[in-house]
Amino acid sequence: MRKLIFPVFFTVGVLMLFSLTGYAQTSRKRISAAEANGTFRMDFEHKYRDLFNEIKILVLGGGKLRFAMDLINPYTLPDGEITGHLGKLDGEAVISGDTAIYRSSEFGPCRITIKFVRRGAIKVTQSGSDADCGFGRNVFSTGTYRKVSGKKPTFDSE
C-alpha cells in the first residue's frame, strides 16, 4: 500500500503543476495590429445592463497606439431614473509587448495600463483618481473589456 501512495501523490502533483502553468497569464513579446485595432466594451449588469464603457484602439506604429475612452458611472436617481457621471479620454499610449501605458499629469498623476490578455480581450487598470484622469465623479476605466468590433475605429476629432 505504501508503495502506491508516493507514485499517486507524485502524479497528482505533476498534473496540478502543469494545469496551473497552463492557466497563468504570460506576457507576449508583441501583438498584431489586427488583434489590437477595434472597439472594446465592458458591459454593466442588472438594471444598468443597457450601459457600457467603451474603448476604441488604433495602432499607430512606432510603438504607439491611439485610444479613446467613453466611460460612465451609472446610478439611479430617487425618482427611479437612471443617469450617470461621464468620463472621456482621447490619447496616445506607448506599447511594449502586449501592454500599452498612457501617462498624464494634466489634472493629476494618471496612469492607464491596457494589457491585451488574450485575443478579443483587454484588461485595463487605472492608477490615479477619477479627477486625476479628468473623469467625472466615481468614473474609472478599470476592468476587463471584450472586443465588439475589429474595424479600424474613427475618432471624434477626425
Q: What is the pLDDT of residues 46-80, one digit of tens each?
A: 999 999 999 999 999 999 999 999 999 999 999 99
- Report d(CA 26, CA 96) in Å as an integer: 14
| 53 contact partners, CB below 8 Å, separation of at least 6 | 41, 42, 69, 70, 71, 72, 141, 143, 145
Q: What is the mean pLDDT of residues 19-39?
A: 72
Indicate whether 23 pLDDT > 70: no
The model's pTM is 0.80
Angle CA 145–150–156, to nearest 5:
80
Angle CA 123–113–44, to nearest 5:
40
- Report d(CA 44, CA 34) in Å as an integer: 26
Minimum mean pLDDT among 75-79, 84-88, 147-151, 154-158: which range? 154-158
Q: How many residues does this entry show for the chain?
A: 158
